[in-house]
Amino acid sequence: MTEQLTFASYKGVEIASVVEALGALRIAVFHDYPYLYEGSLDYEKEYLQIYVQSERAFLFAVFDKGKMVGATTCIPLTDEAAEVRKPFEDAGFDISTIFYFGESILLPEYRGLGLGHRFFDEREAHARSFGHYNLCCFCSVDRGNNHPAKPADYRPNDAFWIKRGYVKEPALQSTMEWPDIGETASSSKQMIFWIKPLDH
């Protein structure tokens, strides 16, 4: 299947050209557990402006016959929203040396092809290219162990992230809000950060 896929990179304002496709993909993938995201394209287009407005933001996308089927983003932590920056600021980190990794999303039928590793490779290389970022991070939602919507065969990505060299930091937590499936208003979710030193 990989031979029919094409790849494209976008930086800063270039991301504006694919915001709608990225928003639709985020809604499709984050609908599933553990995010259970009841998304709207209007919200997505507004939310994704943070990447369009950041000169150093980066999007790496996967296409199959012109349709975006996978994507990953990253952005300097200084350009992220307050709720993403705050745990690091409160813990005394120099956020000007940290790159934040946003989503890493693939439609189910394209998983298991090595694209997850490619996503991390691309983002880490982009962050390294500037020369002064020494830490990268991302966050994942903590739904606890007994969420009623958790599928019986659900496997978290923890083992994959650990293999990539990331360490879960329970001391670094944030709260984000979005509407769960069936909700009409946003509700708070606990987010836990994972971090990794960036070697140069």
Give the Å distances, CA to CA, from 80 to 53, 83, 96, 148.
10, 8, 11, 32
Q: What is the CATH number of the domain that holds 53?
A: 3.40.630.30
Sole residue written with tokens 């739904």: 143
Provide the mean pLDDT of the chain: 95
Confidence of residue 3 (pLDDT cuts 50, 70, 90): confident
> Could you tell me the residue range of the domain that residue 153 belongs to?
2-197
* Per-residue confidence (pLDDT) for residue 145, from 0 to 100: 84
- Tokens standing for residue 25: 């993909």
**Taking the model in full, what pTM does it have?**
0.94
Q: How many CB atoms lie within 10 A of CB 2?
A: 10
Number of domains in the chain: 1
